[in-house]
Amino acid sequence: MRQLTKIRTLSEHACFGGVQGFYEHDSDVIGLPMKFGVFAPPQARHAKVPVLIYLAGLTCSEETFAIKAGAQRLAAELGLMLVTPDTSPRGTGVAGADDAWDFGHGAGFYLDAAQPPWRSHWRMGSYVTQELRALVLTQFAGLADKVGLFGHSMGGHGALTLALKHPSLFQSVSAFAPIAAPMQCPWGQKAFSGYLGEDRSAWAQHDATALIEAGGRLPPLLIDQGLADKFLTEQLLLDRLELACQATGQPLTLRRHAGYDHGYFFIASFVADHLRHHAQTLFN
């Protein structure tokens, strides 16, 4: 297995003519080792290719999408590199970090925590937008001006908010069942109060609906949502995001699918549409 500067190769696997790899590096932003996955399509052996970063949901890791979504076949055909970071720092030693499945380890919410003890390591916003993005572009054959961002649930929230806050970094965006208005749902309120404190003006900087209402804009946005998703009504609040997009002119294609739940069978069913959505922009 090849060893890359500053990166430890955990495993690499031939996959549809390319390579699905899992790696670890010492993160300056997080202050701890971080793991991530990269699917390098066959085209990356000869030239730089567009990059698509996927942000996973609560309890997931850098392996979840790579193993469950079945995205590599089409990514190989299109020539898209897929990047999958972990969802939080690990092995932090912080008391209480394993007490709940929706806060702490596995639940970084793609923001930089401001409250102790979380602010020491929970810096997933800066990690994705600064360190990981730069690491992939310098150590793998990625094109810096052709980077897309998508995600699921907590990761859908992350994709929307990070793209809204850093429009120059991401040229295409989509989401599966995102937490669309976290200031107004239990998951978001728990995470924001714990990581950010009680200042709701700070919360608004990490809420896609609030950011769009305040004038934030994204490239044309694709969202898929299952109507059998048990979290739809209480936690995801997509109707509020849809209204914000309608009111402000944010281009949105929101597709609702009867019978589909919140899991990876849903994601696998529609992931090809998302890869093509990103390819439309990233290859032009």
For residue 127, the 8-state DSSP code is I
The answer to whether the CB of 236 falls within 8 A of the CB of 180 is: yes
207 is catalytic: no
Phi then psi for residue 33, to 5 deg, are: -65, 140
Q: Which of 27, 61, 153, 174 is catalytic?
A: 153
262 assigned to active site:
yes
Q: Is 102 one of the annotated active-site residues of the chain?
A: no
Angle at CA 149, nearest 5°, toward 9 and 191? Answer: 90
Where b means 16+ CB within 10 Å and e means fewer, 196-212 reads beeeeeebebbbbbbbb
Q: 206 with 124: CB under 8 angstroms?
A: no
Q: How far is the C-alpha of 154 from the C-alpha of 143, rounded, in Å?
A: 26
| Backbone φ/ψ region at 104: left (φ over 0), alpha (ψ -120 to 50), beta | left
Of 25, 152, 206, 262, the catalytic one is: 262
Asked whether the beta carbons of 43 and 146 are under 8 A apart, the reply is no
Dihedral sign computed on CA atoms, order 196, 249, 252, 246: positive
Tell me how far apart the alpha carbons of residues 98 and 8 are, in angstroms, rounded to a whole number. Answer: 26
Catalytically annotated residue among 206, 207, 229, 274? 229
DSSP E strands: which ranges in 41-165?
A: 49-55, 81-85, 142-152
| 3-state SS class at 11 | strand
Identify the CA nearest to 240 among candidates 209, 203, 200: 209
In 171-258, beta strands by DSSP E: 172-176, 221-226, 252-257
Residue numbers annotated as active site: 153, 229, 262
